[in-house]
Amino acid sequence: MTRFSHRARTVAAIAVLAIVPLASACNFKDQLLQPQQPGLILPTDVSGQAGADALYLGALGRLKAWTVGGNVNQEAMFPMMSLMTDEYKSSDTFSQRNETDQRSVQTNDALVQSVYTQAQQGRGYARDALNTMLAVEPDAKGKIAEMYFALGFAETILGEVYCNGIPLGEMKDGQPIYTAPLPSTDALKVALAHFDSALTLAAAAKAPPGTAADTVIAANVRNAAAIAKGRVLVDLGQYATAATAVASVATAYQYVETFAQTSQDNGFWIMTTNSQRYSVGDSADATGTIKNALPFASAGDPRVPSAKNTLKPFDNQTLPYFVQTMFGRDDAMALLDGLDARLIEAEAKLNAADYTGMMTILNALRTAPPTQGIFKPAALAAITTTPATKDAAVTLFFREKAFWQFSRGYRFGDLRRLVRQYGRPSDQVWASGTFHKGGVYGPDVNWPVTDNEKTNPNFAGCIDRSA
Amino acid sequence: MRLTRSKRMAVGTHAVLAVVASLAVSVPAQSQGATITGRVTAAGTNEPLAEARVMVVNTSVVVPTNSEGRYVLRGVPTGSVEVRVLRVGYQEQKKAVSVSPGASVTLDFLMTQAIVRLQEIVTTATGEQRRVEIGNAVSTLGDVNQRVENTATTNLSDLMVAKSPGVVLLPGNMTSSAPTVRIRGLNSLSLSNAPIYVIDGVHMNSDAINGNVGGTNTSYLNDLNPAEIEDIEIVKGPSAATLYGTAAANGVIVITTKKGRAGATRWSYYAEEGQVRDRNKYPSSYADWGHCVGTACSAAELANPIRCNLVTVSAGLRANAACVVDSTTSANLFKDKTLSVLATGPRSQYGAQAAGGNDAMRFFVSGDIENELGPVKMPDVFISRFDSIHTSVRDEWIHPEAFQRSSFRTNMNATLSPKIDFSAQAGFVKSDQRLPQVDNNTFSYLYNSYQNPGFIPERIGESAALCAATPARCLGYPGLDGVTPTGPGGGLGPYELHGYGLYSPAELFQRVAEQGIHRFISSANTQWRPFAWMQNDGTVGIDVADRDNLVGNRFGEGPASGTTRQGTINDTRSSNRQFSAKITSNSSWQARQNLNFKTTVGSEYGSSEQEQTVGSSTNLPPGAFIVGAGSVKNSSDSLSTAVKTLGFYLQEQASFRDRMFLTVAARSDQNSAFGTDFQRVFYPKASLSWIMSDEPWFPHFDKLNQFRYRFAYGASGVQPGATTTFRTYASSVVNLATNNAISTAKDTSGLIANALGNPKLKPETSTEFETGFESRLFNNRLNLDLTYYSKKTKDALLAQPIAPSSGAPATPTFGGTPTVLTNIASVANSGFEAQVTTTVFDRRNFGWDMTISASHNSNKILKIPGGNGFCSTSVTTACDTVLSAAQRWQVRGRPINGLYYLPFTYSDKNSDGIITPDEVTVGRTTADGKRDTTTFDYMGYSAPRDLLSIQSGIDLFARKLHLTALIDYKGGFALFNSTTEFYCQQTNFCYDVNIGPGQSKVGAAATLDDQARNVAQRYVTGVKTQVGYVENGQFWRLREVSGSLKLPDVVSTRIRAKDASLVFAVRNLHVWTKYKGIDPESGYGNGDVQNDFSTTSPPTYLIFRLNLHY
C-alpha cells in the first residue's frame, strides 16, 4: 500500500485520462462543443442583395399580418379596432375582447398590447429591410419607397387609435433606441414625413438602374402613399390638402393584401366565420337599442352582407349572432384603395360646406360601387336628399363612410375624429348604454399604450386619454 | 438519411470516445495480492446474505456476496487491512485482518439486523460511496421494488411523490400525463427549474411533451417502468450536484435499474388489475328563472321565462324592466349517469422478471405490458345516437383517454477478470397514448360541460326541438345543434347537445390526439482496477426517443367549428438523442495510519440533440387521416438543436480515522450554448462529514447511538437554451400579388428578424451550502436527519423586456413582447428539511414503522433590473407602475412568481342579500379619502413551500399482512381558482351569480362573499380585480393506502412459488382542503406556476395485484 507516493498515484490517474487532453490538441474539443444549429438563419445570410430582398418580402408579410392577417384565434389590428367600434361585437369568452367591445380597456390588456406590439414590430421589420436595402441596393427605389410607406402606415394607425403618448423608436446594432412619447398628432406627422419620402423615392424610381419590376412597385407605392398621405392629412384636419394629395388616384386602384391557406388567412374570416368570436354589430341587441350604434347587420345594406344565427356564437350566449359574409378564408382585401381617395375628397367637400359636391361623390360610389379586394357590392340607389346643415351632412357622410369602409380599419379613427374635429360629445358618437354582457359601456375613446411599453424609460403611461 | 454537419461531428465524437473507453478496458492487469474469502450471514438466523457489499477499506477492491452469502476478494494489498461489509437492513461491520503476499485468508461476518433500514451506499457523480462519507443530505427512496409491489404505483411520479422533503411534485392530472417536479425552490426566472435525470450513468430525457389537447402534457418520464427500477436517489442542490456540472443546479434524480444477482435464477411474475376513477367534485351550473316586470319588457320577455342574475335582479334588465326570480334549476353533467363523460376506466399490467447468474456473469431481464383506459368515456347515449345513424363508432371515440406501454429490459454484469468488471444495461419501451381534448380549449370536454346553462332542456319539460325553435323558452339555450349546418359530407349531422355547451362529447371525442414513442436507453460501464489503489470507470450511453404526435379528425367528424369537419391533421415527428460519456479514475492512498486520501479525476461529455418536423393538412377526403391526403398542406421547418457539454473535474477526499471525511472538488465546463464571449465556468465544492459520536470526547447518552454532522458547499449551473446566444432571422412565407393584381397572388419566402441573441451568455450559477446532522436514537430505533440549506443563484437569466416602440422582434410570437436573455438577476432559496424514520414496534408478529418528512422553503429575488423589478409571468413590465387585475410578478425581496392583486371591499348596504356593483369598492381608500387602484397586495407564494408527509406501515399476523398509508400535506401557497373565476366571469350559469328566488332566503343562493368576488371582477365599473378567486391552496391528501397479504405457504407451494402475495392498493383516495376549486392539485402544463384553469386533477387508482416469486 505504500510503495507509491500520492503524487505518483495522482499522476497515474491523470495519465489514464490523458487521451482527452491530447485529443483536445487536435481541435477535438472544439468539435465536441461546436454550437452548430443547422436550422438557424444568421446575420450573414441577410447581408447581401438577396437577403435585403428577402427582408423586404418579410416586411410586406408582416404589414399584412399586423393589419388584417389571422392566426388561429388571434386577430390583427383591424379586427381588434373594429371590435372597439360598433362594427363588431364580442361573442367571445376572452375578457380582453369583451372589455374592448365594452370600451373599458385595461392598460395590460393582452390583445390590445399584442396589436400595439405588432404594429411597432411592423415598423421594425420595415426599418430592417430599409436599412439593408439602403446599404446593398440603394437603387431599388420602388422597394425602398414601399418600406417608407410601411413605416408610415404603422405610424398612422398608431396615431389614429392610441392615446396621446406614442413612442416611435428603433433598433440600432441590436440595441433599442428609445424616444419620448409623442402626442397623436405628432405621430401622424412622423407618418406624413415617411409618406413624403415614399412619394419622392417612388417618383425617382427608374429602369435602369432600377429594375422594371421596381418601377412597377414604385407606381403602386405612389398611389398607396398618396392615399395614406391624404388619410393622415384628414386626421390632421387638412381636408383640402388631403383632397389634393389623392386627386390623381383612380377609383379602381387598390393596394391589395392577399391570403392563402398555406400562409395566412383573412383575419376577419378567422374571428367571425371560423371561430365565431365576433358578431357583426348592430343598432340593437338582446338588451335593446344600442345608443349611437349603426345597424350594420340589420340594415340589409349590400356593402355589409351578413347572416343571422347560421352559426353559434363562441360564447354560446350572444344572440342574435351575425356572421359576416363579405370575406372568405382566402379573400383579398384592400389596405387602401381609390374608394378611400374619393371619400377623402368627399370629406373635403363636406368641410368646404359643398354638400352637393359631397353628395355627388357619394352617389357616384353608390351607383357604381368599386371593388374592394374581391368584394363588390350591388349598386345602391343614389341618395336624393342633400343635407341642409353641416350636422346632417356629417351624420350622413360618416354613415356612408362606415358602410363603405366596413372592416377596413377606418371606423375607430372616424369616431375619434367626430369628437375631436367635429365637436360631437363622445356619448353621442360611441356605442353607449347597457352592454350586452352585463354592465354598461365604458368611457374609452382610444386605446392606452400598453404596459409593456413601460420598459422604455421615457414612457410612464399615456399623456392623456382624450380623443 | 442526410447527415447534418452536427450529426457527422457527433458520430465522430462518439467514435473517439468509444476508442477511449476501449483503451481503458484493454490495458492489462498487472499486480497480484492476497485473497480473502468468506461468508456473510445474518445473526440469529444464520441465513446467507446475498448482495452484501464487501470491500477492503481505502482500496478499490469490492465485491458483492452471492446467493449463498459468499465472497472472494482478490488482489488485496498485503499487510494489515480492514474489510467492511455493508448491506441494507443490517448494521455496518468492519474487521481488521493481516495478509501476506499470495496468501488466502478466510473472514466471515455475522451481520446484526438494523432496526431502521437505511440505504448505506449511495450513487454519486464519481461512483458509489458510503452514505456516511458524504457531506450532503441524501434522499433515497429505499426499496423501490417493495414500493412497486405493495402500492398503486403506475409511473415514476407515483414513486417519488411525497417521499422526500424539499421535493415538490405535482402529479400528472390525466392518464400518464406529465408530472412537475421542483426541488428546494425555484432558482431561475426564465429557464426551466426542473431537475435533470440520470439513469445508469446516462443523462435521460425527461421533457414534458405538448399533448395537443389544450394544456395537458405527456412526458418522457412515463417511458420508465417503475418495476425495472432498483433505486432512486434525489440529489437536491448544487452542494451535492457540483460534479454533475452545468444543468444540475435544479437537482439530479439518479435512477439505477435492477441488476442481476449471482445464484439460481429467480423469477418474478406480477399481474395487476385495477380501476381508474375521476372522483373530483366538478361544479354545478345554475339557472335563475324569472319573469320581466315593467313597462319596458318586450313581448318576448313577457311571453317566456327570462334568466335573472344578481345584477339584473338588483339593477334591472334596463330602465323600467325588472327581473324577478321565480325558481332556480341546476345541473351537473358529471353527476348525470346518462350524460356524464366520466366512467370507471380499467387498468391492467402484467410482467415477468428473471435475475440470476454466477460470480462471473449476472443478468436481469424483464418484460412488462401495461394498459390503462382513463375515466373519460363517451356516454352511451351518444354511442346510441351514432348507431341510430349507422355510423360505426371507433374505440378511440369511446375511450379517448388511454395509455399502453410495453417495456423490455436486459441488464448484464460480468466480472471479466479480478480487475475488470463490465456491465451493460439496455431498455426498450414502446408507448402509445391518447388524450381527449381538455383544459383551455374550445373542444375541451370540461369546457363544454361547464357551459351547461343550468338545466338539461328535456329534463325541464322543454324538448330540444322546442328549445331550438324558440330559444327564449330555454333562456336562449338552443339545446339542439340545429343552427349548425350538417358537417361536410354528412357525418354526424344535427343532434341534441343534451345540456352540453357548444359541442357534445360525441363531436369532441371524434377529434383524436395520439402519441407514439419508441425509446431505447442503454449504457455500458467498464471498471478497471489495475492496482488495489486505483479504479477507473468508463461509461458510455445513449437515450434515443422517436416520437410521433398526431392530432386531428377525419372528414365529417369532430366539432362543427370553422373548417374542422372538413378534416384536419397535424403530425409532429421528433427525434431526441442524448449521448453521455464519462471517464473517472479514483486512486486511494493511505498517508498515515488514520489518514487516507482518495483522488478522483474525471471527464464527462454530454450531447443532447433534438429534431422536429411538423406536417399538417386540411380538407381531407372521407376516411383519410394522413397529411398527404389533405388538399392544403403545411410543413414547418425542421429545426435541429444540439446542446453539448464537456466537463473535467478533480476531487480529493480525506478520511481521518474513518470518522471524519473532508472533500474538496472542482468541475470546469464548457457548453455549446454559452455565448461566444464566454467559454468556461468553474464549479467548486467542499464538504465535511463527521461522525462526532465516534470521537472519544463526544458525550455519550443512552438514547443517542450515533450523531453525524454534515456540511457541504458547492456550485452548479443551468445552461441557456441551445440557440439563445445567436442573433437570428426566421423565414416568413408571404402571399403577395405581383404588380398588385390579386389574380397573380402566390406564396413566396421572405425573412424577418427573429431572436436578438446575446453573445455574452453564460450559465446561471447556483451556489449552496447546507449543514445538518444525522442521528440515531433510542437504541437505533429512530433516525433523525435535519438539514438547513441556503442557496444563491447569480447570473440568473432573465428575458429582459424591450419596449415595443423600438420595433424589436419577438421570439417566437409576432406581437409578443420582445426580450433578450441576459444574465442579470439573482435569487436566494433557504430552508430546512427534516426526516424521521422510526420503528415503533418490531416484534415477530407485529411491526410498525413510520417515516415523517417535513420541509420549508423560502424563496426571494435578490436582484432584478428596474425600480422594483419586472413583473408578470412573461416579465414584461415594471411592476411599480403596472395596473392589473391579476398578476404573478417578479419583485425584488419577494418570491419568484409571487401573486399580487388589487384588493376590494364590499358591504351589503341594503341587506337584501344581493351584492351590486355600487356595494363593491375595488382598491383601497387612502387617508385623504381617495381611491387607490394602483397599489397591489402581495398575496403569497404561487407554489407550495411547506411540505409534510407521513408514511406508515404496520405488519400484522406474523407479518403476513402489511398495511401502509401515506398522507401528505402541501401548504404555504395561494392558488388562483381560475376555473371558477373564468366561468363566473363569462357565464350566467356559475354559482357566484346564482341568487335563487327570494334572493338570500333560498339555500342555493351564492354567499355574499362569492357574489362580491364576482361583482368585483365582472360588474364594477372601471378597474376590476380577480383577487376574490385567489384562495389558500393548502391541503392534506390521503395519497396511498395499501394492504399486502402474503399467501399461506400451502398456496405458494401449490403453485410452486417461493412466495406469493396479494395486494390491494389505492392512490389519491381523499383530499382535505378549503380550496373551492376542483382540487388543489388540478393543473396542466409543467411550468413553475400551477394552472388550474378548466382542467382536472390526478385520478383515483384502485388496484389488485398478485406477486409471485420463484
Is the CB of B585 inside 8 Å of chain A's CB atoms? yes
How close is the nearest chain A Cα to the Cα of B1002, in Å? Answer: 24
pLDDT in tens, A78-102: 999 999 999 999 999 888 999 999 9
Q: Whole-angstrom Cα distance, residue B91 to residue B93? A: 6
Look at residue B749 in the predicted model and tell me its pLDDT.
92
Question: What does the block give as the cell for B861?
Answer: 429575488
Kindly indicate the confidence band of residue B1097, based on its pLDDT and cuts at 50, 70 and 90.
very high
User: How far is CA B377 from its chain centroid?
Assistant: 25
Indicate the burial class of A223 (C-beta count within 10 angstroms; 0-12, 13-18, 19 or more): buried
The residue of chain B nearest to residue A28, with distances taken between CA atoms, is: B13
Residue A168 C-beta-side C-alpha neighbours within 13 Å: 27
Return the closest-CA partner of residue A6 out of B656, B533, B650, B76.
Answer: B533
User: Above 70 in pLDDT, residue B478?
Assistant: no
Which amino acid is present at A89? K
Distance (Å, whole) CA B605 – CA B599: 20
Q: What type of residue sits at position A309?
A: N
Interface test mutation site (partner A, options B20, B633, B733, B752, max chain A beta carbons within 10 A)? B752
Partner A, chain B 336-395, Cβ-Cβ below 8 Å: none
Does the distance separating the beta carbons of A459 and B5 come in below 8 Å?
no
B315 Cβ under 8 Å from any chain A Cβ: no
* φ, ψ (nearest 5 deg) of residue B408: -135, 140
Q: Do B583 and A57 touch (CB under 8 A)?
A: no
pLDDT at B729 over 50: yes
Instruction: For B940-978, write each residue's pLDDT tens digit.
Output: 999 999 999 999 999 999 889 999 999 999 999 999 999
Residue with cell string 339545446: B479
pLDDT score for A440: 85
ipTM given for this complex = 0.93
What is the pairing mode between strands B1035-1046 and B961-971? Answer: antiparallel
> Taking Cα atoms as reference points, which of A277, A296, A271, A284 lies closest to residue A320?
A284
Nearest CB to A438 within list B311, B534, B590 = B311
Whole-number pLDDT of residue B872: 60
pLDDT at B878: 61
Map grid coordinates 439513469 to a residue.
B199
The pLDDT value recorded for residue A34 is: 64
Distances (CA, A) of B1027 to A108, B848, B889: 16, 46, 14
In Å, how far are B744, B1054, B1062, B1067, B1110 from B961, measured between CA atoms? 80, 20, 10, 19, 20
- Residue B90 DSSP label: B
Confidence of residue B988 (pLDDT cuts 50, 70, 90): confident
Distance set, CA A190 to CA A157, A168, A197, B911, B1102 (Å): 12, 9, 11, 57, 69
**Domain segments of chain A as ranges:** 46-249+404-455
Q: Of B12, B591, B883, which has the smallest distance from its Cβ to A31's Cβ?
A: B12
Residues of B in contact with A316 (CB under 8 A): 451, 477, 501-502
Instruction: Give percent of chain B above pLDDT 90.
Output: 55
Taking the C-alpha atoms of residue B481 and residue B475, their distance in angstroms, rounded to an integer, is 15
User: Rounded to the nearest 10 degrees, how much is the dihedral formed by the CA atoms of A224, A227, A229, A235?
Assistant: -140
What's the pLDDT score for residue B44? 84
Q: What per-residue confidence (pLDDT) applies to A7? A: 56
Q: Are strands B660-671 and B641-656 parallel, antiparallel or unpaired?
A: antiparallel
| Cα dihedral value B68, B71, B72, B77, nearest 10 | -170
pLDDT value, residue B31: 47
Taking the C-alpha atoms of residue B417 and residue B399, their distance in angstroms, rounded to an integer, is: 55
Average pLDDT over residues B305-332: 82
pLDDT of residue A6: 57
Structure confidence by residue, pLDDT tens digits, A113-141: 999 999 999 999 999 999 999 999 999 99
**Which among B478, B722, B807 is the nearest to A121, CB-wise?**
B807
| CA atoms of A75 and A77, how far apart (whole Å) | 7
Q: E-strand spans in B619-678?
A: 632-635, 641-656, 660-671
Mark which residues 71-90 of A lie under 8 Å from B by CB. 74
Q: Do strands B93-99 and A322-324 pair parallel, antiparallel, or not at all (unpaired)?
A: unpaired
| CB-based contact A402:A414 (threshold 8 Å) | yes
* Chain A touched by B304 (CB under 8 Å): no
pLDDT score, position A209: 56
Question: What angle separates helix A212-235 from helix A411-420, to the nearest 10 degrees?
Answer: 40
| pLDDT bracket for residue B495 (50, 70, 90) | low
Looking at residue B394, its pLDDT comes to 93
d(CA B649, CA A342): 77
| Contacts (Cβ under 8 Å, ≥6 apart) of B61 | B55, B73, B74, B75, B76, B77, B529, B532
pLDDT tens-digit series, residues B877-930: 666 554 444 578 888 889 999 998 889 999 999 888 888 888 999 998 888 988
Q: Taking the CB of residue B1053, how many other CB atoms lie within 10 A of it?
A: 12
What is the chain A residue with the closest CA to B1023?
Answer: A106
B1014 pLDDT more than 60: yes
Question: How near does any CA of chain A get to the CA of B838, in Å?
Answer: 41
Nearest to B825 by CA among B800, B857, B790, B801: B800
Q: Could you say which residues from 353 to 392 on chain A have a Cβ atom under 8 Å away from some Cβ of chain B?
A: 373-374
* SS (HEC) of chain A: CCCCCHHHHHHHHHHHCCHHHHHHHCCHHHHHHCCCCCCCECHHHHCCHHHHHHHHHHHHHHHHHHHCEECCCCCCHHHHHHHHCCCEEECCCCHHHHHHHCCCCCCCCHHHHHHHHHHHHHHHHHHHHHHHHHHHCCCCHHHHHHHHHHHHHHHHHHHHHECECECCCEEECCEEECCCCECHHHHHHHHHHHHHHHHHHHHHCCCCCCCHHHHHHHHHHHHHHHHHHHHHHHHCCCHHHHHHHHCCCCCCCEEEECCECCCEEEHHHHHHHHCCCEEECCCEECCEECECCCCCCCCCCCCCCEEECCCCCCCCCCCCCEEECCCCCCCCEEEEEHHHHHHHHHHHHHHCCCHHHHHHHHHHHHHCCCCECCECCCCCCCCCCCCCCHHHHHHHHHHHHHHHCCCCCCHHHHHHHHHHCCCCCHHHCCCECECCCCCECCCCCCECCCHHHHHCCCCCCCCECCC
- Would you say B964 and B1041 are in contact if contact means Cβ atoms under 8 Å apart? yes
* Fold classification of A46-249+404-455 (topology level): 1.25.40
Low-confidence ranges of chain A (pLDDT < 50): 1-3, 23-26
Across B803-818, average pLDDT: 87
For residues B161-171, give the mean pLDDT.
Answer: 94
Show which of residues 75-134 on chain B sit within 8 Å of chain A, judged by CB atoms. 77-79, 81
The overall average pLDDT reported for chain B is 87
Residue B410 β-bridge partners: B365, B426
Judged by DSSP in three states, B408 sits in strand
Phi, psi of B319 (to 5 degrees): -60, 135
The per-residue pLDDT for range A210-257, each reduced to its tens digit, is 566 888 899 999 999 999 999 999 999 999 999 999 999 999 999 999
Q: Which of B129, B375, B141, B87 is nearest to B253 (CA)?
A: B141
Summarize the confidence of residues B38-49 as an average pLDDT: 90
Task: Return the pLDDT at A317.
Answer: 79
Closest residue on chain B to A15 (Cα): B585
Residue B474 phi/psi, 5° resolution? -115, 35
Q: Does A401 touch chain B (CB under 8 A)?
A: no
Put the strands of the sheet holding B79-86 in their side by side order. B62-64, B53-56, B79-86, B93-99
Q: What's this model's pTM, rounded to 2 decimal places?
A: 0.89
| Residues of chain A positioned with their CB less than 8 A from the CB of B883 | 106-108, 451
For residue range B678-725, list pLDDT tens digits in order. 778 999 999 999 999 999 999 888 889 899 999 999 999 988 888 888
**Does the beta carbon of B483 lie under 8 angstroms from any beta carbon of chain A?**
yes
Closest CA of chain B from A107, distance in Å: 7
**E strand or H helix at B73, and its extent?**
strand B70-76
Residue B486, pLDDT above cutoff 80: no
> Which grid cell sits at B381?
347515449
